[in-house]
Amino acid sequence: MAIKIYIDQGHNPQNPNAGAEGNGYREQDLVFTIGLELADILRAEGYDVRLSRPTADTQLGTSNASSLAARVNDANAWGADYFISLHANASSIASASGSEALVYRLGSVAAELGEDILDGLADTTGLPDRGVTPRPNLYVLRRTQMPAVLLELGFITNKRDADLMAGRPELFAQGIAEGINEFVNDTADTAVRPTPEIPNGEGLTYAQFLQQNPYKGYLKVQAFRGDQTYPVPGVAVTVSREFADGRRVFFEGVTDENGILDGIDLPAAPRGESLVPDDPLTTAVYDLSARHPLYRDVDVPIEIYEGITAIQPLRLLLKEE
Ligand SMILES: [Zn+2]
């Protein structure tokens, strides 16, 4: 089956969610064209491709938020294998130049893909490689259910970068395609390696764990007093995990006035076909600890699944109870 690549041409033709402008160009127009060229190249090479803006007048959503959600929902519903979002950078420093890749998390499949794409871009465009940067807050990186890379192809505020993006869009398309091919060939090599003995278990280093859990799952915590009637605000929640190279904290937060802590993102393994509970291949296990001066400590293991919000109830007992 062909690999499915979702190409998201950033922004909209008009506001809401129009792009940056510089040197007489508009970001949304530059990335629209580069996206079309990239789709042509990838299709010719046997990939299955879907574009967020297939025509020049495709306008997505009615607000910034719904414009971003439209792309992510489309890619998730389509079941894309990879999500590539195309953008142009802007800076008040006119000399700032080059390509960079933003990903949800370093040490992930997306980060590897981003590195390969940057290599390809530097190859074909000659622009500086500014590296891969984690940006977990970006909506299209955190809500996509597949490895996602947001590319800042060049600076629209830099004359050389902007003229190149406008005048030679095919160079950017070729560079990205080159990187995707490089990545896919590498992945094909590693796919035949035997699976580790304990896929998600003890003895892993932090880096190995991230490799095995390149996706995102979500956690919602609901703290209440023993009788389930009263929510408990102010509970300090920590999500961590022990690794061969020490314990790592993934999340720290405090429950709100409704006793709730929501939208916690954690690395998760690809879900695959089944949703078998306790399947070590499909769940990532963490330690959750809850602390509140009036209540007894709670320490529970939690399991996180790709693309799913796990709801963890925290039943708290007063210390003197
Ligand atoms: Zn942009």
Which one is predicted more confidently, 25 or 320? 25
170 is catalytic: no
Mean pLDDT of the chain: 88
Cα 12 to averaged position of ligand 1 atoms, centre (Å): 10
Identify the architecture of domain 206-316 in CATH: Sandwich (2.60)
The yes-or-no verdict on residue 39 having pLDDT over 90 is yes
Q: What per-residue confidence (pLDDT) applies to 136?
A: 82
| Percent of the chain scoring above 90 in pLDDT | 63
Is residue 57 packed enough to be buried (19+ CB in 10 Å), middle (13-18) or exposed (0-12)? exposed
pLDDT in tens, 199-245: 345 578 888 888 878 888 889 999 998 766 789 999 999 999 988 88
Using alpha carbons only, how large is the chain's radius of gyration in Å?
Answer: 22
Least confident of 32-41, 143-152, 191-200: 191-200
Which one is predicted more confidently, 303 or 113? 113
Q: What per-residue confidence (pLDDT) applies to 112?
A: 92
Which residues, by Cβ under 5 Å, contact ligand 1, an ion? 10, 87
Strand-strand pairing, 236-243 and 295-304: unpaired
The yes-or-no verdict on residue 195 having pLDDT over 50 is no
The reported pTM is 0.64
Q: Which residue has the tokens 């709100």?
A: 256
Q: Which of 152, 178, 182, 306 is catalytic?
A: 152
The yes-or-no verdict on residue 192 having pLDDT over 50 is no
Cα 44 to averaged position of ligand 1 atoms, centre (Å): 27
Going by the DSSP 8-state scheme, the letter that residue 29 receives in this structure is H
The yes-or-no verdict on residue 275 having pLDDT over 50 is no
| CB of 182 closer than 8 Å to CB of 120 | yes
The yes-or-no verdict on residue 276 having pLDDT over 50 is no
Domain 4-190 sits in CATH 3.40.640.10? no
The ranges assigned to domains in the chain are 4-190, 206-316
**Reduced DSSP (H G I as helix, E B as strand, rest coil) percent helix, strand, coil of the chain, to 5:** 30, 35, 40
What contacts 146, CB < 8 A, 6 or more positions away?
6, 75, 76, 80, 81, 82, 83, 215
| CB of 195 closer than 8 Å to CB of 286 | no
